[in-house]
Structure 1
């Protein structure tokens, strides 16, 4: 059932923001307390060019970055208190910029005076994250949509009060960023809704904002609608579908005026130019193509060869910006040459490791390249190594060599970082099995891999022989091995399944299971350097078992609100344990804690990442702790004030 609701709660709260104008010193900007360096500027969630073409603004997981469009140099960082900015939009006159975040908070900023003038909160009882927001052409309204429902809120951007609300009662559990658009005269609003709960297509509703009535319901789309745009002449509404379709409706009759169906499986983002020319950006995982729809001509094309596209932006004055895996690609108009600028916005790091000399940091991720960072110059571009496959995990050998493991369907590979060909490559004889996770023990020179059938394969890298085939007991059909961890000596291995999960400890010398940790929902494990303890992260608790008896040595209860320890690592001396949390609703930042292993007391806590901590690593001397976050950054923390030299 559709509703039009004008009686909404008004929420307004001013917040301070930060603006840094010295572009020669980027990394120290807004560093969290206790952090000594930041690598990366946060993964890109959205981009926009200011109406005057002077600035590129980038929504990231750590805040809102401002760049000079001509040079692509950063000049300011806003909204760092929470971060997690999911979408942005300028008003037509450039006076305001609106931001929406993953918690459902919408803010309107006065660009000229750099102040927040209004703050609104989306309904927290649903899925509050903001998917899209857009100003009306007269700047009198701001419309916002969510990720998993068909609610459209319309706000007064100057006061933060609600002006209207369009919604369905039904929540759609499918993640979908629903588009919304205003007509040129600011009198109509177009939005989408799912035809029914099981549907794989959207309908488009058009609302008269003056009368509060739905004046059209367009059901011709056979796919989900990705974008909406009214023509400047106020005669047409264009929509882009999720499977290569573009449709144009006549606003006088609301009948289809034109249909274009030949763009393949691309997601189509439609946009009219000031001259009423309809363009569509065809977007896939690694490709973006701008089409002149009427003429059927390609205007721009970009193919990302080193990962996934992060975001694209095409403006009404034909400026086209692509955020690739490692670079910006910019066209200022249809007749210009493209310009490439490297950027520091990686997606996120699943694993991190220090060089033995403490001068270099290496990070690996699920679907991007291996990155090598110079610790002394965190604002410099990392050296990137593009490897086939996915789920890269990095480690350092005792002789100072960095290694990376990665999986590619039924094959697991081991590289020495910097070399083009793998040092070892092993494949399953059963082609139906797929690798799910891999790990390397530099001490024992063993490479291990888990698969979709619950088997653990362990190879000797030196001889190339398979040393072990172990069977992990899966909880149910469709379960798989999600994590494997070697002990410091490489003689033991822990495997964790995805469901349950079941956690099993293996003795590789005896080729047998020696213990199962029953009844515990363990997310991850870590071995102490001396081999005396095995640490495991449970819901609301960190537990240490004696490695010789498997009896509980210590159970550390987390504080209220910190119930999901996710990453664990021991200090090189084994006297300290660092833990990193997963994000929980209500948290502004996610804690990293340093524990005394003997007493179980927390020594200190660091609050820097706005979302999940993916991995933690100490430098070899224990003086630094690196935290890799789902936010797309790595933070360095100085340990000497807390644990000494």
Structure 2
């Protein structure tokens, strides 16, 4: 079902973790997976487009001002030249132009629904607005849509005006990046072939029978006439284009090689040739490069080096490094489009660098991540979440606006093209200690949360796919990419046992029962830890989907939808020793399909939380009291699908994580 969420300003509220929550939620941890960001022309505002919506920040005060378009995955954002308008796009939705001061939507521009992410730019003279499609995958008809649209903007763009609406003037075959000349007379953009292409019947250009992997040409058009002026060689895959403020030069970057071309005068009736002025060759580091001119016509480059996980700003004209970020970052959402201030995202914050100033401006914006298993602390004051590549996040839920503490002791491996250390899960012992499992291509490790060195480290012959720890049994288990399971006794440091599971199409997965007596794999194979032998019960052919061990370790919650193509009508509690159903929870009739995306069982075993895979952007969380009734005691509705759920120890809180990259906390007290 559709969610109609009104646009609001939140200037009077300081706790952004409570803005625009779905009904029943009490707080949000994190601000969603960031996609793009841009500074206003005067540098006072920062707009961050995310899977959650559009965040607006006051840079001077370092505080969030508002959250717009909640529930919409923002794919691109741009300020107008004077900063009075801001444009946003979303996957499959229209492009919207907003009035920054009032927050009102002034115009909606239709966009082909097959398009993915887009680049948006306003011309400096405020006369034109351009949209570049970046959908680089084929559709079922083996046709690829790739277009640049140019809209003429009225002098006075007003809300609900019947006239003075933006009109689409020009349509080209092309893609990102885009750039206007300083006077707004020229538009340059990347092109797969460097020449105009025919249009299909619905007005969008089509390239038949092939994939568009790279756009190595740059075409330039005169906007007043729509005339194609030139095609320039951009290299293998153009990453950015920038005109100098004086208008005499245009630079094209191909991830490490930057070519600067002289821009000829347009006084002649015939197009004049463009001449190559200079070539900059940067270090070959398999990184991401983005260029932009500073106001005094210096050419600058931002560089993210994959191998070193390092980010830096370079003055190409003077062969000088202006800034190098001292911490791990990532190729995340860099904006230097105005050539005066640099905005970029690190692992757990957003920063703004200003040349000549000693200190970064850090906004305290905790971006989203892909949440794996979650675990509340015994006192219920902290939530521990896992991101396989970014580490273990510890959130103080009594101060939900605060950033999390991040546990990532080994960081990114230097000189490695791989992912480095991966973090799998957190086990909370009865004494309240938190144990973390991690691993890489040859080792598995056990840590106590916060420690600098592991409790134990063991070598294996293949890459680790998952690892779990049982504090009750004091055993560490891991499964490798080939389905082989290793179990170690932490007290002795010796191998306890090994066995091989049935291979599945999905990533290998294992989990201990609460008392450590059983170990289960994704295929449904159950291993008796005490007897040191597998139970000959289930295989992947049975279609079993393991959900959770019950407090009674001989009973598991499971779903059999794999055997019935998602149409199995109940969630079952199954006795693995007797091989029979103990009880069941009927799935609601409106679940279609009936696959389960996320599941959680309370520690006492009385409450079940479950989220279906809706195959849409709408999500639902159903909670049952298994002692009475077939209907959920409450159903929460969201604008995202859910990937992870967890109960607090006293059952009063539920944590949910989904596609937005943020975590929601739900108060269950009224329903228990």
Q: Which residue of 2 aligns with 1:593?
A: 622
**C-alpha spacing 1:545/1:283, structure 2 compared with 1 (3 Å):** same
Structure 2 counterpart of 1:4: none
Contact 2:63–2:363 (CA under 8 A) maintained in structure 1: no
Tell me, what secondary structure is at the counterpart of 2:670? helix
Conserved? CA contact 1:523–1:566, under 8 Å: no
The correspondence for 1:165, drawn from 154, 171, 196, is 171
Distance 1:279 1:523 in 2: 53
The equivalent of 2:590 in structure 1 is 559
Higher mean displacement: 517-526 or 227-236: 517-526
Aligned pairs for 1:239-318 (under 5 A) are 239-242=252-255, 244-252=256-264, 253-264=273-284, 265-285=286-306, 286-305=309-328, 308=330, 310-318=332-340
Length, aligned pairs only:
602
- Secondary structure of the equivalent of 1:27? helix
Give the TM-score normalised by structure 1. 0.86
Check conservation: 1:524, 1:567, Cα contact below 8 A: no
Q: What is the Cα-based RMSD across aligned positions, in Å?
A: 2.8
2:610 aligned with 1:579: yes
**Inter-partner Cα distance in structure 2 for 1:135 and 1:562:** 43
Counterpart among 396, 402, 408 of residue 374 in structure 1: 396
Residue by residue over 1:127-149, the C-alpha shift from the partner in whole angstroms, topping out at 9 and shown as x without a partner, is x3323211122223322233323
Partner of 2:198: none
Q: What is the deviation of 1:566?
A: 1.7
Q: Is the 8 A contact 1:153 1:166 kept in 2?
A: yes
Distance (Å, rounded) in 2 between the aligned partners of 1:558 and 1:166: 48
Give secondary structure in 2 for the equivalent of 1:18: coil
Q: Which residue does the alignment assign to 2:269? A: none
Change (3 A) 1:411 1:98: same
Task: Answer yes or no: is 1:332 the counterpart of 2:358.
Answer: no
Q: Which has the larger radius of gyration?
A: 2
Q: How many Å separate the matches in 2 of 1:418 and 1:540?
A: 44
SS at match of 2:97: strand
Q: For 1:596-615, what per-residue CA distance to the aligned partner results, in whole angstroms no more than 9, with x for missing partners?
A: 5465533322234x444232
Alignment of 1:621 onto 2:650: yes
Aligned to 2:442: 410
Match of 2:151 in 1: 155
In the TM superposition, residue 200 of structure 1 has moved relative to its aligned partner by 5.2
CA distance in 1 between partners of 2:387 and 2:465 (Å): 14
Q: Give me the whole-angstrom Cα distance separating, in 2, the residues matched to 1:120 and 1:394.
A: 46
Instruction: For residues 210-250 of structure 1, give each alpha carbon's deviation from its aligned partner in whole angstroms, at most 9, with x where no partner exists.
Output: 3334333333403x2211222223332212223x1212223
**Corresponding position: 1:490 with 2:512:** no
CA distance in 2, matches of 1:640, 1:522: 33
> Conserved in 1, the CA contact under 8 Å of 2:222 and 2:229?
yes
Counterpart position of 2:60 = 70
Q: Following TM superposition, by how much is the alpha carbon of 1:367 offset from its aligned partner in structure 2, in angstroms? A: 1.7
* Residue from 17, 25, 29 that aligns with 1:27: 17
Once the two structures are TM-superposed, the CA of residue 93 in structure 1 deviates from its matched residue by 0.9
Question: Partners of 2:166 and 2:599 in 1: how far apart?
Answer: 43
Q: Is the 8 A contact 2:644 2:656 kept in 1?
A: yes
What SS does the corresponding residue of 1:24 show, helix, strand or coil?
A: coil
In structure 1, distance between residues paired with 2:657 and 2:379: 20
What's 1:58 paired with?
Answer: 48
Q: Which runs of 5+ in 1 are unaligned?
A: 1-13, 169-176, 497-501
Decide whether aligned partners of structure 1 residues 266 and 536 sit closer, same or farther in structure 2, where only a CA change above 3 A counts.
same
The Cα shift of 1:60 comes to: 2.0
511-520 or 23-32: which moved more? 511-520
The answer on whether the counterparts of 2:234 and 2:254 sit within 8 Å (CA) in structure 1 is no
Identify if the C-alpha distance between structure 1 residues 189 and 456 changes in structure 2 by more than 3 Å, giving closer, same or farther.
same
1:452 to 462, 481, 490: 481
Would the aligned equivalents of 1:47 and 1:58 in 2 still touch at CA under 8 Å? yes
Unpaired runs of 5+ in structure 2?
Answer: 137-145, 158-164, 194-209, 265-272, 411-420
The within-5 A match list for 1:498-537 is 502-510=523-531, 511-519=533-541, 525-531=547-553, 532-536=555-559
Matches within 5 A, 1:215-230: 215-222=229-236, 224-230=237-243
In structure 2, how many angstroms separate the alpha carbons of the residues matched to 1:572 and 1:421?
A: 30
Distance 2:657 2:150 in 1: 37
Equivalence for 2:344: 322
Cα distance, 1:117 vs structure 2: 0.9
2:245 is aligned to 232
1:517/1:437 Cα in 2 relative to 1: closer, same or farther (>3 Å)? Answer: same
SS of aligned partner of 1:516: coil
User: What's the CA shift for 1:181?
Assistant: 1.8
